[in-house]
Structure 1
Amino acid sequence: MALSLTIALGLASCGDSSSAEPLIPFVSFNESISILDQRYPQLRTDNGSVEIAGGVRGLIIVRQNATTYLAFERNCPYRPYDAACSTVTIDASRLFLIDDCCGSQFTLQGQPRGGPAPRPLRQYATSLSGNLLTITN
């Protein structure tokens, strides 16, 4: 009996430690931008990225290729409710994304590459129709 209880308690303590981290709030939105808009010249080259309004703290749009665009929440998954911080930006090198407050870094595909962030950036759905890119959650 004691062995069964010990095993059960041990298994209960196992698991993904990131599940203890708070999740980013959910906000419903539907944003559309023209990829030819003069404000977004970076969206005309592969791996180009821009920051726009939408989501919780804004969106980062990354062009993978001429037909594929990725959209990520700018709210960092590490301490997402920290009002003074927790905002991801495009690094000055334009090679990765970063939260300057906590030091978390992410690839242009939204995957963590350094720092305390426990999970990837929240990714949103994108669809391209002609020159109109629509981002929704």
Structure 2
Amino acid sequence: MLAACSNSNDAQPQIPLATVNELVVLTDQKNSNLRFDNGAVYINGGVRGIIVVRQNASSYLAFERNCPYQPLDTCARVKIDPFIRLYDPCCTSQFSFQGQVQGGPATRNLRQYNTALSGNLLTITN
């Protein structure tokens, strides 16, 4: 009987899967926010785009912009509040620059992608 029970997180639909293989040139002017710790930029890729966040000069994180709370809603797209947080204005969920839930109805962290830094090139994959 216990196998039939489910966690409340399982009641929410999952973010759809998408192949991710993106290259970010850190010296490109459009990525100038990545020159500062907790700086973040949007790039194409993923399901609804990707947010790249600089942790420090040698560490970058990449997150899916599709909010994990009701991800099938057309407005479920995470935005950057510069140097403060990541948030979804549709459902009011808030996330840290490490992708962890900080408030709102979301119970899942942001989907994180793999990052690899080689010189001024950041590769993002899943």
- TM-score (ref. length: structure 1): 0.87
What is the total number of aligned residue pairs between the two structures? 126
Letter in 2 for 1:23: Q
Partner of 1:89: 79
Given the alignment of the two structures, is residue 51 of structure 1 paired with residue 25 of structure 2, yes or no? no
Partner of 1:5: none
User: Aligned-pair distance for 1:29?
Assistant: 2.1
User: Aligned-pair distance for 1:97?
Assistant: 0.4
Hey, which of these two has a bigger chunk of strand by percent?
2
**Over aligned residue pairs, what C-alpha RMSD do you find?**
1.3
Partner of 1:64: 55
Identity percentage of aligned residues: 60
What runs of 5+ residues in structure 1 fail to find an aligned partner?
A: 1-7
Matches within 5 A, 1:50-129: 50-83=41-74, 85-91=75-81, 93-129=82-118
User: Aligned-pair distance for 1:45?
Assistant: 1.0
User: Aligned-pair distance for 1:113?
Assistant: 0.4
Letter in 2 for 1:55: G
What runs of 5+ residues in structure 2 fail to find an aligned partner?
A: none
Structure 1 stretches of 4+ moved >6 Å: none
Instruction: Determine helix, strand or coil for the equivalent of 2:30.
Output: coil
| Deviations, residues 12-36 of structure 1 (Å, cap 9, x unaligned) | 5755211111100000121001111
Hey, what's the Cα distance between the residues in 2 that align with 1:73 and 1:135? 11
Hey, what's the Cα distance between the residues in 2 that align with 1:97 and 1:89? 6
- TM-score (ref. length: structure 2): 0.94
Hey, what's the Cα distance between the residues in 2 that align with 1:96 and 1:17? 26
